[in-house]
Structure formats: structure tokens, C-alpha cells
Amino acid sequence: MYKRQPYEDFRAFFHGHTYTGNALACAVAIANLDIFARDDVLGSVNQRADQCGRLIAEQIEPLEHVGEVRRWGLMTGIELLHDRETGDRFPVAAKIPQRIVAEARRRGVIIRPLGNVMILMPPLSISASELVTLVGTTHDAIVAATRS
């Protein structure tokens, strides 16, 4: 069995961040920077963010059980409400966010909840068609999980 040692004995496994002094990790980081420059990742992110905003406005915001939608670039938070008029949330025991996650996974998409907010945080490299799939699947999952 493991016996905890006093901190003063410095018997802990001291280590740095995963990239610190690791030649392979540094090489991967440099390769990623090259890809950012070659593929104009940041330029396409702005296009994808605009597309995301349009898709969210068309497909997610009108849903009966969606409250406030917050976005910053591609990051999106979708508030779930039992009653949009009163602002009442779903009862915790209903596990609506977990049901939405399960519905999305059945459709091949991974999203996550943070309390009563569904989080979409796609990779910067997401394509236009993949973004259509992400938002469309999120729509379908919310509809399926909140169906009365």
C-alpha cells in the first residue's frame, strides 16, 4: 500500500507540463503552427463562426425549450428551459442535458452539458459540412430529448 510521504522529503514525482522539454511534443507544436499558417486556420475560423451563427439562429434558437444562446466564435452555450415564457428550468431529475448528450451520441456527435447549458466547442479545423452536421444533430437531439 502507498504511504504518503512528507512534502519536505521531496519524494513526489516532480514533472513539468506535457510539452516542457519534450522534443516530440515541441515538434508537434511547431508542426501545428505550420498547419495554422499553411491552411489559414484562423481565417477559416471566422468563416465557420459566421456559418455557426447562422445555423444556430435558424435551427436552435427557435426551439421551444431553448433559452439564451451565447456564442463566442465557434464556442456556443445553449440554455435549456422547461418553459421559455417563465424561464423555468427542467427538473434536475429529468436529466434533460444527459438525454440530449445520449441522443447526439446515437447520431454520431459528441456534445457536453454544463448544468442546464449544452456546450458546442468544435475544433478550429471543422469543415462547413461538419458544422452543418454538428448543429443539425444538436437540434435533433434537443427535440428528441425534450419531447413531452
Domain, as residue range, for 78: 41-146
pTM above 0.85, yes or no: no
Residue-level pLDDT at 80: 97
Domain count, the chain: 2
pLDDT per position as a tens digit, 40-69: 888 889 999 999 999 999 999 999 999 999
Per-residue pLDDT tens over the stretch 115-147: 999 999 999 989 999 999 999 999 999 999 999
Residues 79 and 20 in one domain: no
Tell whether 23 is covered by a domain: yes
In this structure, are 25 and 45 located in the same domain?
no
80, 142: one domain: yes
Taking 80 as the threshold, does the pLDDT of residue 17 lie above it? Answer: no
Whole-angstrom Cα distance, residue 66 to residue 87?
Answer: 10
Together in a domain, 126 and 141: yes
